[in-house]
Structure 1
Amino acid sequence: MARATVFGKASIDAMHRAAGVKLMIFDIDGVLTDGGLHYGVDGEVLKRFNVLDGLGIRLLQQSGVPTALITARQSPILQKRASDLGIAHLFQGVHDKRSALAQLLAQVGLSEEHCGYLGDDLIDLPILTRVGFAAAVAGAHTEVKQRVHYLTEAGGGHGAAREICDLILHAQGNYEAALAPYLT
């Protein structure tokens, strides 16, 4: 697959694919977080999310591109984050991401080619190898990096999701409109 590592130098293929995204799907651990798991004394898992990623997801939604989350972990924290961001489609505790994708597509009435996915590890390959726009974070596993259309410059939990949201907004001609309310 043709890919680029720097947003400004995204391949023509990556931009064309991003322009066709009608649903953007994100993994969570290692993508919306840095992949670290912080355990409290009572065994609870804490996660750190990036506010830049959150605003990027909201801007993408406001431009008409809904978002979804598919993750192997299950946690009330993930439900809270999805709720805070207005993400209606959250699939937790999913180890067969291919079946979760099929279920999601049935719910929203789209085909794989109209979806984008941002992942980082082998468990994401069943989706990354099927969607129209496949992206991976900078620190992704080597096998994943070799199979995507776009590789972010930013790492997971450090603005990678925002980079993808901005790229899609640019590719679809919606970036300036998304930016306008902040400039007036």
Structure 2
Amino acid sequence: MSAAFNLDNVARAAKVKLMIFDVDGVLTDGSLHYGAEGEALKTFNVQDGLGIKLLQESGVLTAIISARRSPQVTARARDLGIEFVHQGGHDKLTPFKALLAQLNLAEEQVGFIGDDVVDLPILSRVGFAVSVPNGRPEVHSRVHHITEAAGGKGAVREVCEFVMRAQNSYDKILNQFMA
């Protein structure tokens, strides 16, 4: 489905108690830059980060499940207060199931935003499956919602605000910034 307003997607997002984020292609634009010492560098979007913080403030738990292992992701998750982080391995389903058991949540209470085929096992199970416009066609055909913004370019902020609006918490969260 497209990013257009859809009442079914609003109902799905209203049930979200945990929002899980992929990293490469979602929290970043998917590019890997290598430094002189061979270290991979990642660029994160500041507005996406604030979106995650506001979503947490609204009462929604957040997590990261990423196939790549990266100290930059560990640092970013720590900066954002994301307590649940799993990195390394294409099997994302095992940490997903463990997280649900740990938090005593049902699949329909979870949202996930991913962009590639390794995300399909989770996307096919969650109550609110989201992708980015730069996601793979195989992913697009199996999600509920596609953001307008690209990965690493505001897609995470967009989905966080979508969930908060669906849960009628956005205006309350926004009021703290009004003079």
TM-score normalised by length of structure 2 = 0.98
1:51-70 maps to which residues of 2 (within 5 A)? 51-70=46-65
Residue 19, structure 1, aligned to residue 14, structure 2: yes
Residue 4, structure 1, aligned to residue 7, structure 2: no
Shift of 1:94: 2.8
Counterpart-to-counterpart distance in 1, 2:97 and 2:55: 22
Residue 101, structure 1, aligned to residue 96, structure 2: yes
Q: Of the candidates 121, 131, 135, which is equivalent to residue 136 of structure 1? A: 131
Shift of 1:163: 0.3
Task: Indicate the SS of the match to 1:116.
Answer: strand
Alignment match, 1:148: 143
| RMSD, aligned α-carbons | 0.7
1:21-170 maps to which residues of 2 (within 5 A)? 21-170=16-165
Quick check: 1:52–1:162 contact (8 Å CA) kept in 2?
A: yes
Task: Indicate the SS of the match to 2:118.
Answer: helix
Task: Indicate the SS of the match to 2:63.
Answer: strand
Counterpart-to-counterpart distance in 2, 1:109 and 1:153: 32
Deviates more, 1:81-90 or 1:104-113: 104-113
Task: Indicate the SS of the match to 2:161.
Answer: helix
The code of the aligned residue for 1:115 comes to V
Counterpart-to-counterpart distance in 2, 1:77 and 1:111: 30
TM-score normalised by length of structure 1 = 0.96
Counterpart-to-counterpart distance in 1, 2:72 and 2:159: 23
Deviations 1:41-64 (A, max 9, x none): 111010000001000000000000
Task: Indicate the SS of the match to 1:182.
Answer: coil
5+ residue gaps in structure 1? none
The code of the aligned residue for 2:126 comes to V
Identity %: 55
Alignment match, 1:179: 174
Aligned residues, how many?
179
Counterpart-to-counterpart distance in 1, 2:74 and 2:101: 21
Shift of 1:151: 0.3
Task: Indicate the SS of the match to 2:112.
Answer: strand
5+ residue gaps in structure 2? none
Counterpart-to-counterpart distance in 2, 1:137 and 1:157: 10
Shift of 1:173: 0.2
Structure 1 segments (4+ residues) deviating >4 Å: none
Counterpart-to-counterpart distance in 1, 2:102 and 2:40: 30
